[in-house]
């Protein structure tokens, strides 16, 4: 059985942001890919709303540090989302510790640009690179849903939120694997939602589709100093709302879907993109959802 590495902060006074409305009071959540970016923002926001949050990632050193910074209501578990045995061990650990899992956020994902050899266009794509993107983005989400359903179905509530992408709704010529994987996540979300409703499980499943969100993936492309500021302004010109989004913009949308505020919402998709998919003349670029 894979090794589980729980890290709970000893800093009882640590706070990352003000308490919001306590919409997740008493809930236990697992967020994958939580060592940085959107996943980290979701974990921080969940704790602020009263949840106990397990952050998971394969970047163990950073993940442990983030969990420690968040405070006593956060812990870290090492999780390779492509490894089914890993999923079994992590869910078992959470159930043994808390007796339940209320929320799963399937956030872990890769574009393939820096993680594989590529290329990723439809004519020249490298099949090993294609498969790696599919393994992480799609199979990782499928496995998360599988084991979350089993953990949640006997309880009065359960919410799975799958982080898809703007690219799951439109084609991306230079990132065909990424776009296809995120489209599959979007569709699998609906299958999960309908299956749980059909079985009488009180488990909801919805997807979130971010685009143009400023995360560390952008750093190599933006540069530093004045060049960075100019690049951000240029990107903003192609976004109807005029600026790039922040990870917290996605986190707040996820809070809604995870909470009882959305108790009658399942199989839905929520875009967080500054209006890109509303039908503007702006042509989405392949890096818009990093």
Q: Which pLDDT score is estimated for 50?
A: 97
pLDDT digits (tens, 9 = 90+) for 8-66: 444 434 444 455 689 999 999 999 999 999 999 999 999 999 999 999 999 999 999 99
Does residue 200 sit in helix, strand or coil?
coil
Higher pLDDT, 74 or 280: 74
This prediction has a pTM of 0.89
Which residues, other chains included, contact 117 with Cβ-Cβ below 8 Å and sequence gap of 6+? 126, 128, 129
Does residue 32 sit in helix, strand or coil?
coil
Closest CA to 250 of 190, 206, 207, 208: 208
Q: Which pLDDT score is estimated for 138?
A: 98
- Percentage of the chain lying above the pLDDT 90 cut: 79
Closest CA to 42 of 108, 105, 136: 105
Which pair of tokens denotes residue 220? 């190599």
Closest CA to 74 of 107, 102, 40, 108: 40
Report how far residue 241's alpha carbon sits from residue 237's, in angstroms, rounded to the nearest whole number. 9
Query: What letter would DSSP give residue 261?
Result: G
Mean pLDDT of 66-76: 98
Q: Which pLDDT score is estimated for 220?
A: 66
Mean pLDDT of 122-141: 98
Query: Active-site residue numbers?
Result: 178
CB atoms within 10 A of CB 105: 30
Tell me if the bond preceding 119 is cis, omega within 30° of 0. Answer: yes
Q: What is the DSSP string of 223-254?
A: -SHHHHHHHHHHHHTTSTTSS-B-HHHHHHHH
| Burial tier of 220 (Cβ tally within 10 Å: 0-12, 13-18, 19+) | exposed
Which pair of tokens denotes residue 81? 């989302």
């Amino acid at each position: 059985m894979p090794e589980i590495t729980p890290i709970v902060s000893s800093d009882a006074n640590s706070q990352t942001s003000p308490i919001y409305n306590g919409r997740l009071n008493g809930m236990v959540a697992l967020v994958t890919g939580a060592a940085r970016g959107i996943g980290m923002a979701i974990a921080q926001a969940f704790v602020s709303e009263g949840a106990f949050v397990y952050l998971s990632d394969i970047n163990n050193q950073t993940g442990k540090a983030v969990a420690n910074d968040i405070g006593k209501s956060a812990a870290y578990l090492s999780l390779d989302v492509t490894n089914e045995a890993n999923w079994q061990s992590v869910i078992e650990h959470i159930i043994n510790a808390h007796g339940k899992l209320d929320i799963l956020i399937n956030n872990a994902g890769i574009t393939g640009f820096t993680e594989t050899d590529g290329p990723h266009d439809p004519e020249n794509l490298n099949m090993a690179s294609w498969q790696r993107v599919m393994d992480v983005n799609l199979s990782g989400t499928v496995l998360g849903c599988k084991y979350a359903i089993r953990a949640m179905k006997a309880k009065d509530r359960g919410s799975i939120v799958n982080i898809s992408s703007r690219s799951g709704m439109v084609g991306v010529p230079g990132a065909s694997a990424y776009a296809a994987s995120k489209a599959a996540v979007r569709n699998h979300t609906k299958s999960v939602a309908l299956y749980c409703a059909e079985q009488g499980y009180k488990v909801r499943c919805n997807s979130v589709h971010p685009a143009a969100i400023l995360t560390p993936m952008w750093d190599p492309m933006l540069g530093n100093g004045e060049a960075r500021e100019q690049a951000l302004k240029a990107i903003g010109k192609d976004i109807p709302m005029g600026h790039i989004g922040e990870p917290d913009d996605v986190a707040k949308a996820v809070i809604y879907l995870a909470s009882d505020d959305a108790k009658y919402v399942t199989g839905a998709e929520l875009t967080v993109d500054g209006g890109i998919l509303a039908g503007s003349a702006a042509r989405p670029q392949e890096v818009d959802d990093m």
